[in-house]
Chains A and B, each alone.
Chain A
Amino acid sequence: NAGVMQNPRHLVRRRGQEARLRCSPMKGHSHVYWYRQLPEEGLKFMVYLQKENIIDESGMPKERFSAEFPKEGPSILRIQQVVRGDSAAYFCASSYAGTGDEFFGPGTRLTVL
Protein backbone atom coordinates (compact mmCIF):
# COMPACT_ATOMS: atom_id res chain seq x y z
CA ASN A 1 0.00 0.00 0.00
CA ALA A 2 2.74 2.40 -0.98
CA GLY A 3 1.98 6.08 -1.28
CA VAL A 4 3.78 8.47 -3.57
CA MET A 5 7.47 7.62 -3.66
CA GLN A 6 10.24 10.08 -4.36
CA ASN A 7 13.96 9.54 -4.65
CA PRO A 8 16.46 10.54 -3.74
CA ARG A 9 15.27 12.11 -0.51
CA HIS A 10 18.33 14.34 -0.39
CA LEU A 11 20.47 15.44 -3.32
CA VAL A 12 23.57 17.58 -3.27
CA ARG A 13 24.91 19.08 -6.48
CA ARG A 14 27.58 21.59 -7.37
CA ARG A 15 26.74 24.58 -9.52
CA GLY A 16 26.57 23.59 -13.18
CA GLN A 17 25.72 19.93 -12.56
CA GLU A 18 22.46 18.23 -13.43
CA ALA A 19 19.82 17.13 -10.93
CA ARG A 20 17.36 14.33 -11.63
CA LEU A 21 14.43 13.87 -9.29
CA ARG A 22 12.17 10.83 -9.55
CA CYS A 23 8.57 10.33 -8.57
CA SER A 24 6.50 7.16 -8.59
CA PRO A 25 2.79 7.95 -8.18
CA MET A 26 0.39 5.99 -6.05
CA LYS A 27 -0.81 2.77 -7.61
CA GLY A 28 -3.56 3.48 -10.10
CA HIS A 29 -2.80 7.19 -10.34
CA SER A 30 -1.92 8.54 -13.76
CA HIS A 31 -1.77 12.26 -12.94
CA VAL A 32 1.44 13.71 -11.54
CA TYR A 33 2.21 17.22 -10.29
CA TRP A 34 5.52 18.75 -9.29
CA TYR A 35 5.79 21.55 -6.73
CA ARG A 36 8.70 23.49 -5.28
CA GLN A 37 8.94 24.75 -1.72
CA LEU A 38 11.37 27.28 -0.32
CA PRO A 39 11.93 27.41 3.48
CA GLU A 40 8.93 28.79 5.38
CA GLU A 41 6.89 29.21 2.22
CA GLY A 42 4.00 27.39 0.65
CA LEU A 43 4.38 25.05 -2.27
CA LYS A 44 4.53 26.56 -5.74
CA PHE A 45 3.13 24.65 -8.71
CA MET A 46 5.59 23.78 -11.44
CA VAL A 47 4.15 21.23 -13.85
CA TYR A 48 1.26 18.80 -14.33
CA LEU A 49 1.67 15.64 -16.37
CA GLN A 50 -0.32 12.64 -17.42
CA LYS A 51 1.26 9.56 -18.91
CA GLU A 52 3.46 10.68 -21.82
CA ASN A 53 1.89 14.16 -21.86
CA ILE A 54 2.66 17.51 -20.30
CA ILE A 55 -0.69 19.12 -19.54
CA ASP A 56 0.38 22.34 -17.84
CA GLU A 57 3.93 23.61 -17.39
CA SER A 58 3.02 27.19 -16.63
CA GLY A 59 4.88 27.16 -13.30
CA MET A 60 8.13 25.76 -14.60
CA PRO A 61 11.04 28.00 -15.63
CA LYS A 62 11.48 28.00 -19.38
CA GLU A 63 15.18 27.26 -19.23
CA ARG A 64 17.08 24.43 -17.56
CA PHE A 65 13.97 22.69 -16.20
CA SER A 66 12.16 19.82 -17.88
CA ALA A 67 9.75 17.10 -16.81
CA GLU A 68 8.53 13.86 -18.24
CA PHE A 69 6.21 11.02 -17.30
CA PRO A 70 6.91 8.10 -19.62
CA LYS A 71 4.56 5.25 -20.32
CA GLU A 72 6.68 3.01 -18.11
CA GLY A 73 8.60 4.15 -15.08
CA PRO A 74 8.58 7.15 -12.79
CA SER A 75 8.09 10.80 -13.57
CA ILE A 76 11.37 12.69 -13.80
CA LEU A 77 12.03 16.34 -13.01
CA ARG A 78 15.33 17.35 -14.54
CA ILE A 79 17.26 20.49 -13.71
CA GLN A 80 20.26 21.22 -15.89
CA GLN A 81 23.19 23.44 -14.90
CA VAL A 82 21.90 23.94 -11.38
CA VAL A 83 22.40 27.24 -9.59
CA ARG A 84 22.23 28.03 -5.87
CA GLY A 85 18.73 29.44 -6.28
CA ASP A 86 17.50 25.98 -7.26
CA SER A 87 18.08 24.78 -3.69
CA ALA A 88 14.65 23.86 -2.37
CA ALA A 89 12.39 20.95 -1.52
CA TYR A 90 10.70 19.47 -4.57
CA PHE A 91 7.47 17.62 -4.00
CA CYS A 92 5.59 15.35 -6.29
CA ALA A 93 1.87 14.67 -5.94
CA SER A 94 -0.39 12.26 -7.75
CA SER A 95 -4.11 11.91 -8.23
CA TYR A 96 -6.41 9.34 -9.74
CA ALA A 97 -8.63 11.53 -11.85
CA GLY A 98 -6.78 14.82 -12.00
CA THR A 99 -9.55 16.61 -10.17
CA GLY A 100 -7.45 18.26 -7.50
CA ASP A 101 -7.37 15.60 -4.80
CA GLU A 102 -3.62 15.26 -4.71
CA PHE A 103 -1.52 13.08 -2.46
CA PHE A 104 2.05 14.16 -1.85
CA GLY A 105 5.31 12.30 -1.64
CA PRO A 106 7.97 12.97 1.01
CA GLY A 107 9.92 15.31 -1.24
CA THR A 108 13.48 15.62 -2.49
CA ARG A 109 15.62 18.21 -0.80
CA LEU A 110 18.06 19.63 -3.30
CA THR A 111 21.10 21.51 -2.08
CA VAL A 112 23.30 23.28 -4.60
CA LEU A 113 26.79 24.08 -3.37
Chain B
Amino acid sequence: GESVGLHLPTLSVQEGDNSIINCAYSNSASDYFIWYKQESGKGPQFIIDIRSNMDKRQGQRVTVLLNKTVKHLSLQIAATQPGDSAVYFCAENTSGAGSYQLTFGKGTKLSVIP
Protein backbone atom coordinates (compact mmCIF):
# COMPACT_ATOMS: atom_id res chain seq x y z
CA GLY B 1 0.00 0.00 0.00
CA GLU B 2 0.97 3.63 -0.20
CA SER B 3 2.86 5.42 2.52
CA VAL B 4 1.30 8.54 3.89
CA GLY B 5 3.15 11.52 5.25
CA LEU B 6 6.65 10.65 4.07
CA HIS B 7 8.78 13.39 2.57
CA LEU B 8 8.98 13.49 -1.19
CA PRO B 9 12.11 12.09 -2.86
CA THR B 10 14.35 15.02 -3.73
CA LEU B 11 16.73 15.46 -6.62
CA SER B 12 19.26 18.28 -6.43
CA VAL B 13 21.08 19.28 -9.60
CA GLN B 14 23.44 22.04 -10.56
CA GLU B 15 22.12 24.64 -12.96
CA GLY B 16 23.05 23.65 -16.48
CA ASP B 17 23.29 19.94 -15.75
CA ASN B 18 20.80 17.38 -17.04
CA SER B 19 18.12 15.98 -14.72
CA ILE B 20 16.59 12.54 -14.81
CA ILE B 21 13.43 11.86 -12.85
CA ASN B 22 12.17 8.31 -12.63
CA CYS B 23 8.76 6.81 -12.09
CA ALA B 24 7.50 3.26 -11.70
CA TYR B 25 3.89 2.80 -12.74
CA SER B 26 1.58 0.13 -11.49
CA ASN B 27 -0.89 -0.92 -14.16
CA SER B 28 0.37 -2.93 -17.13
CA ALA B 29 -2.85 -2.02 -18.96
CA SER B 30 -2.07 1.71 -18.85
CA ASP B 31 -1.61 3.08 -22.33
CA TYR B 32 -1.07 6.79 -21.89
CA PHE B 33 1.37 8.57 -19.62
CA ILE B 34 1.87 12.21 -18.73
CA TRP B 35 4.49 14.14 -16.81
CA TYR B 36 3.28 17.12 -14.81
CA LYS B 37 5.21 19.89 -13.10
CA GLN B 38 3.73 21.40 -9.97
CA GLU B 39 5.10 24.57 -8.45
CA SER B 40 4.29 25.49 -4.89
CA GLY B 41 0.71 26.66 -4.50
CA LYS B 42 -0.22 25.94 -8.10
CA GLY B 43 -1.98 23.25 -10.08
CA PRO B 44 -0.14 20.60 -12.09
CA GLN B 45 1.15 21.85 -15.42
CA PHE B 46 1.33 19.50 -18.41
CA ILE B 47 4.90 18.93 -19.61
CA ILE B 48 4.90 16.02 -22.02
CA ASP B 49 2.97 12.86 -22.75
CA ILE B 50 3.62 9.52 -24.40
CA ARG B 51 1.43 6.67 -25.59
CA SER B 52 2.27 3.05 -25.04
CA ASN B 53 3.04 2.42 -28.70
CA MET B 54 6.13 4.62 -28.33
CA ASP B 55 9.23 4.29 -26.18
CA LYS B 56 10.60 7.79 -26.53
CA ARG B 57 9.24 11.25 -27.14
CA GLN B 58 11.04 14.56 -27.20
CA GLY B 59 9.85 18.06 -26.48
CA GLN B 60 11.62 21.31 -25.89
CA ARG B 61 14.44 20.46 -23.44
CA VAL B 62 12.50 17.43 -22.18
CA THR B 63 12.49 13.78 -23.19
CA VAL B 64 10.24 11.05 -21.88
CA LEU B 65 11.31 7.41 -22.03
CA LEU B 66 8.92 4.52 -21.56
CA ASN B 67 9.98 0.96 -20.74
CA LYS B 68 6.85 -1.16 -20.71
CA THR B 69 8.73 -4.33 -19.85
CA VAL B 70 9.61 -3.06 -16.40
CA LYS B 71 6.80 -0.49 -16.17
CA HIS B 72 9.17 2.41 -15.90
CA LEU B 73 8.93 5.99 -17.08
CA SER B 74 11.58 8.68 -16.96
CA LEU B 75 11.70 12.39 -17.62
CA GLN B 76 14.94 13.93 -18.78
CA ILE B 77 15.40 17.68 -18.56
CA ALA B 78 18.34 19.09 -20.49
CA ALA B 79 20.32 22.08 -19.21
CA THR B 80 18.28 22.40 -16.04
CA GLN B 81 17.36 25.94 -15.05
CA PRO B 82 16.29 27.45 -11.71
CA GLY B 83 12.77 27.79 -13.10
CA ASP B 84 12.61 24.01 -13.38
CA SER B 85 12.55 23.71 -9.58
CA ALA B 86 9.23 22.08 -8.73
CA VAL B 87 7.63 18.75 -7.87
CA TYR B 88 7.30 16.44 -10.85
CA PHE B 89 4.57 13.82 -11.07
CA CYS B 90 4.11 11.03 -13.53
CA ALA B 91 0.53 10.00 -14.24
CA GLU B 92 -0.84 6.93 -15.98
CA ASN B 93 -4.13 6.58 -17.72
CA THR B 94 -6.01 3.48 -18.66
CA SER B 95 -8.49 3.94 -21.46
CA GLY B 96 -11.14 1.50 -22.47
CA ALA B 97 -12.89 1.26 -19.14
CA GLY B 98 -15.26 4.14 -19.90
CA SER B 99 -13.28 6.48 -17.73
CA TYR B 100 -10.07 8.37 -18.28
CA GLN B 101 -8.99 9.11 -14.78
CA LEU B 102 -5.33 9.64 -14.15
CA THR B 103 -3.42 7.78 -11.45
CA PHE B 104 -0.59 9.89 -10.11
CA GLY B 105 2.73 8.78 -8.70
CA LYS B 106 4.05 10.20 -5.44
CA GLY B 107 6.20 12.90 -7.04
CA THR B 108 9.83 13.94 -7.02
CA LYS B 109 11.00 17.33 -5.85
CA LEU B 110 13.60 18.85 -8.14
CA SER B 111 15.85 21.51 -6.64
CA VAL B 112 18.15 23.40 -8.97
CA ILE B 113 21.29 24.83 -7.42
CA PRO B 114 22.27 28.13 -9.09
Spell out A's residues near B (CB within 8 Å).
4, 6, 31, 33, 35, 38, 40-45, 48, 55-56, 58-59, 91, 95, 98-107
Contacts and interface: CB of A to CB of B under 8 A. Distances in A.
Interface string B80-114: 00000000010101010011111111110000000
Given A100-B32, A100-B95, A101-B49, A43 B44 contact: yes
A45 B101 contact: yes
B59 interface: no
A43 B89 contact: yes
Q: Give chain B's interface residue range (CB within 8 Å of chain A).
A: 20 to 34
Interface of B is mostly: loop
Contacts of B4: 38, 41
A104 B45 contact: yes
Nearest to B2: A41
Given A40-B6, A42-B107, A102 B43 contact: no
A48 B102 CA distance: 10
Contacts of B99: 48, 55-56, 58
Interface of B: 4-8, 32, 34, 36, 42-46, 49, 89, 91, 93, 95, 98-107
B44 A104 contact: yes
Interface centre among B5, B36, B89, B102 (most CB of A within 10 A): B102
A102 B42 contact: no
Nearest to B93: A100
Given A100-B95, A107-B43, A40 B8 contact: yes
Contacts of A4: 43
Contacts of A40: 5-8, 107
B104 A100 contact: no
Nearest to B89: A42
Given A43-B102, A56-B101, 19 more contacts: A6-B43, A33-B102, A35-B102, A40-B6, A40-B7, A41-B106, A42-B105, A43-B89, A45-B103, A48-B99, A48-B100, A48-B101, A99-B100, A100-B34, A100-B95, A100-B100, A100-B102, A102-B34, A104-B36
